[in-house]
Amino acid sequence: MSPADRPPTRRFLDKLASHSPLGWDECRAILELPGHLVQIRANLDFGNEGQETDHAWLVVDGLIGRFGQTNDGARQTIGVNIPGDMAGLNAVVAPETGPALQSLSAVTLMQVPRAALSAAARRYPAVAEAFWRECVLDAAILEQWIVNVGRRSALSRVAHLLCELGCRYSAAGIAHHAEFPFPTTQIQIADMLGLTAVHVNRTLMALRTDKLVTIQARQAQVHDWDRLARIGDFDPSYLQIGETLGEPACVGMAS
Amino acid sequence: MSPADRPPTRRFLDKLASHSPLGWDECRAILELPGHLVQIRANLDFGNEGQETDHAWLVVDGLIGRFGQTNDGARQTIGVNIPGDMAGLNAVVAPETGPALQSLSAVTLMQVPRAALSAAARRYPAVAEAFWRECVLDAAILEQWIVNVGRRSALSRVAHLLCELGCRYSAAGIAHHAEFPFPTTQIQIADMLGLTAVHVNRTLMALRTDKLVTIQARQAQVHDWDRLARIGDFDPSYLQIGETLGEPACVGMAS
DNA sequence: CGCGACTTTGACAGATGTCAAGGCTTGTGG
DNA sequence: CCACAAGCCTTGACATCTGTCAAAGTCGCG
């Protein structure tokens, strides 16, 4: 299975197919979504906030964050996208809504024209529904993010974030949830959780001392998932993974 | 214009039509959405979280909140719905996603069967797109909510919340943004902002002392909007109101 | 008129932020 | 391959915001 056999859109298709019924033609339409690849180094802002956006960003490799800012410059990360996620899919129906984006690691992205996504949705109602559902599932993550930032202690917040990422990587088939990519700066973690980098450092250290999690070489290693989940007050049901939908039409589709 | 001339669905239609192009038939389909009215007294939980939901909740009168909870019982309100909002619209494509709801004042709601919304969306692609867009616009509010809870001081949070509600009431044609319904307990405000009731009390008092806002008789009176917006770091663009779309097909539609 | 819920207030506690400095990693260029 | 620089992590002392607990006042509803 060389890269040539797995177009960048493949992971995105798999994700859609995991929650939405798609026929052969619909799968094809998604697989053949056009767009050109871009590489961006770590810790760079892109995807100009506020402006009309004419494309969405499919994460091919690496990790990006969506964020908002207060007028005094404080940054709040609003969510995170792993490979297979299409950041800015919502802009298909609301172009003014294009998010502010930030590379958290070095990433490679595919810029998918809004027009192409829009055309696919218009042509195949099942694709439109899959996109809509994808947006709704993202919103469910946003909701839990609010709970996390609004009502949990620093320790709990960090634990919850790690659990969420572990589950999402595992659902995407990228890594096991006991050890997954975490190429993230403590400053960036602070921005995700509404904390300070200094305090994140202390919290991470407590987690390490307790033999719960080690972060090393851009990977998170979870040594005691159950306890971490308890500390993070983590209930994965909001991620809606593991809903069985039968064999999707796209399994084993070439190219 | 007696109540008989304005079905409960009217406000919802107006909202959709303000951001999505809808023809005569589509408007009709929305206006004639079925559902029965329920009245709920203030401060009651309903819309059982987690379970499969088979209907959405159209707010006809009053104010409701959607919330999440941590396992130690702390509540975090995730967003708020005013008349014309359809809480749980997202459940049309993700039934497992039904939100936990709470009446913030005495409310009257219309329970709209998921099947009816689904049927309308399936029949008219423009309706599906309008629903999708509505969900995306809600998500934009969620994102700002995260920024508010994650990165602003208590004073700023309260100010931002008031500005958001003022703008939303005004956009819905329900009230002027200088004086609008705010039938909300300080405990409930605390749950919205990730604060404590005691601290909300002190903050509200500071706002009153500064002659910025008075809350009285379940109404918020904003005495100095500009200064409030500055304190709340409020930029209304995320609400996407005032986008002109031309004269919608539904103006003056009877029934 | 009285009860219950909500608001207001004060004293105090605790979690998290701020500031500052030093050590470590990592990537880059010679 | 080494040396340097920049950014990142770690740590300590201290400040501050917000939370906690408790009690009294007020309002609205039955």
pLDDT tens profile B153-173? 999 999 999 999 999 999 999
- Nucleotide nearest A74, CA–C1', reads C17
Alpha helices in chain B (DSSP H): 9-19, 24-31, 114-123, 125-151, 154-171, 186-193, 197-209, 225-231
SS3 A160: helix
**Separation CA B164–CA B41 (nearest Å):** 24
User: Closest nucleotide (CA of A205 to C1')?
Assistant: D10
Q: Are A94 and B131 in contact (CB under 8 A)?
A: no
> What residues in B contact A125, CB-CB < 8 Å?
122, 125, 128
Q: What is the pLDDT of residue A47?
A: 81
pLDDT (0 to 100) of residue B2: 44
One-letter amino acid for residue A76 of the chain:
Q
Cα B94 to chain centroid, rounded: 20
What is the three-class DSSP state of B11? helix
| Chain B residues inside the 8 Å CB shell of A70 | 147, 151-152, 156, 233
Asked if B204 CB < 7 A from strand C, the reply is: yes
pLDDT in single tens digits along all 255 residues of chain B: 445 568 999 999 999 999 999 999 999 999 999 999 999 999 999 987 556 789 999 999 999 999 999 999 999 999 999 999 999 999 999 988 888 999 999 999 999 999 999 999 999 999 999 999 999 999 999 999 999 999 999 999 999 999 999 999 999 999 999 999 999 999 999 999 999 999 999 999 999 999 999 999 999 999 999 999 999 999 999 999 876 666 778 877 876
Positions in chain C where some atom is under 7 Å from a protein CB: 5-11, 15-20, 26
Distance D17 C1' – B153 CA (angstroms): 9
Spanning CA of A57 to C1' of C1, the rounded length in angstroms is 66
CB contact under 8 A, B78 and A147: yes
Query: A149 contacts in B (CB within 8 Å)?
Result: 146, 149-150, 194
Query: H-type helices in chain A, by residue range?
Result: 9-19, 24-31, 114-123, 125-151, 154-171, 186-193, 197-209, 225-231
> How far does CA B225 lie from the centroid of its chain?
21
- At B3 the pLDDT is 52
Search chain B and give the residue with CA nearest A70.
B233
Structure tokens at A105: 């690691």
- Residue from the list B136, B151, B243 with its beta carbon closest to the beta carbon of A93: B136
Closest in A76, A151, A193 to B194, CB measured: A151
Q: How far in angstroms lies nucleotide D15's C1' from the CA of residue A117?
A: 52
Structure tokens at A94: 């609301």
pLDDT given at position A51: 65
CA distance A102 to A49: 11
Measure the CA–CA gap between B63 and B104, rounded to whole angstroms.
Answer: 5
Inter-chain residue contact B125 with A129, CB threshold 8 Å: no
Block mean pLDDT (10 aa), chain A, length 255: 73 97 97 96 83 89 97 96 97 90 96 97 98 98 98 98 98 95 98 98 97 95 97 96 73 72
| Cα–Cα distance for residue pair B117/B140, rounded to 1 Å | 22
Q: What is the pLDDT of residues A39-94, one digit of tens each?
A: 999 999 998 755 678 999 999 999 999 999 999 999 999 999 999 999 999 999 99
In whole angstroms, give the CA distance from residue B43 to residue B34.
Answer: 26
Name chain B contacts of A137, Cβ cutoff 8 Å.
Answer: 94, 97
Interface test with B, best of A67, A101, A147 (most B CBs within 10 A): A147
Contact (CB<8Å) A151/B97: no
B161 touches strand C (CB under 7 A): no
Indicate if CB(A196) is under 7 A from strand C.
yes
Q: Give residue A75's pLDDT.
A: 97
